[in-house]
């Protein structure tokens, strides 16, 4: 299962007291089931002219998917509802080649649009062992769990350049800004374990 965080906005209007966004995700072509939809109250954004909320999307399978959403609002004490909208979500593969062989972990960090929420997605190292299913472990020094040791050991024996693969999920046609964080262990602190940030790029899904 994949996750995606998307920002939705509703323009401020005179007398607006409350605004709620409802959403659900389906496979492309499937009808939405509004009985299982999620909802979130929108709050005034820093820019002042809109209300904002972050939608957490749980995506099953490899896609593509369709996001369905609509707004309810209260204005001058009257409850109103708007039409339902839909937008298709696509998955775009991203590849990064590390000629140094120094790093064994890579993470995609991306935003959908200039003011989008930050999404974080781990990248797979081609040829490295798959991480085990989550299970309780004895406390270990951060960055030195057995699974990470195996990945690092395997990475040292791989032919250069090391090839990392990940996936960006976003609305079709959206502008996405992304960077890649490289490290010897899982994490997003570029100051820890000699981690560093790779380039920042913009793409259209």
Q: What is the CATH topology of the domain spanning 91-204?
A: Immunoglobulin-like (2.60.40)
Dihedral Cα 115, 3, 176, 23, nearest 10 deg: -60
Q: Where do the H-state alpha helices sit in the chain?
A: 146-156
Query: Which of 145, 106, 148, 156 has its CA nearest to residue 130?
Result: 148
Q: Where do the H-state alpha helices sit in 78-128?
A: none
Looking at residue 123, its pLDDT comes to 93
Provide the sign of the torsion angle of the four alpha carbons 160, 105, 164, 201, taken in this order: negative
* Domain boundaries, given as residue ranges, for the chain: 2-83, 91-204
pTM above 0.85, yes or no: no
Q: What are the residues facing 16 on neighbouring strands? A: 75
CB atoms near residue 7 (< 10 Å): 17
Which residue reads 């000699």 in tokens? 194
Q: What CATH architecture is 2-83?
A: Sandwich (2.60)
Query: Rounded distance, CA 107 to CA 94, Å?
Result: 11
Provide the sign of the torsion angle of the four alpha carbons 151, 157, 158, 160, taken in this order: positive
Span 5-20, pLDDT tens digits: 999 999 988 899 999 9
User: ω into residue 64 within 30 of 0, thus cis?
Assistant: yes
Looking at residue 75, its pLDDT comes to 95
Query: Rounded distance, CA 85 to CA 18, Å?
Result: 19
The reply to whether 91-204 shares the fold of 2-83 is yes
Predicted confidence pLDDT, tens digits, the chain (205 residues): 789 999 999 998 889 999 999 999 999 999 999 999 999 999 998 767 899 999 999 998 888 999 999 999 999 999 999 999 999 999 999 999 998 888 888 999 999 988 789 999 999 999 876 655 555 554 544 545 556 666 666 666 778 899 999 999 999 999 999 999 998 776 666 556 567 888 788 888 7
52, 9 in Cβ contact below 8 A?
yes
111, 131 in Cβ contact below 8 A?
no
Query: Rounded distance, CA 51 to CA 142, Å?
Result: 40
């Amino acid at each position: 299962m994949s996750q995606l965080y998307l920002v939705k906005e509703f323009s401020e209007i005179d007398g607006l007291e409350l605004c709620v966004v409802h959403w659900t995700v389906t496979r492309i072509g499937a009808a939405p089931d509004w009985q299982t939809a999620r909802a979130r109250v929108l709050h005034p954004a820093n820019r002042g002219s809109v209300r904002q909320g972050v939608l957490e999307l749980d995506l099953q399978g490899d896609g593509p998917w369709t996001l369905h959403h609509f707004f309810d609002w209260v204005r001058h004490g009257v409850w109103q509802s708007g039409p339902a909208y839909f937008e298709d979500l696509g998955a775009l593969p991203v590849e990064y080649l590390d000629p140094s062989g120094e790093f064994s972990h890579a993470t995609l960090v991306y935003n959908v649009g200039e003011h989008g929420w930050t999404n974080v997605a781990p990248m797979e190292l081609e040829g490295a062992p798959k991480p085990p299913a989550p299970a309780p472990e004895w406390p270990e020094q951060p960055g030195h769990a057995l699974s990470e040791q195996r990945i690092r050991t395997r990475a040292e024996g791989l032919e250069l350049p090391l090839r990392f693969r990940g996936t960006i999920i976003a609305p079709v046609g959206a502008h996405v800004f992304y960077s890649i964080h490289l490290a010897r262990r899982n994490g997003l602190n570029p100051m820890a374990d000699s981690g560093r940030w790779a380039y920042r790029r913009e793409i259209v899904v």
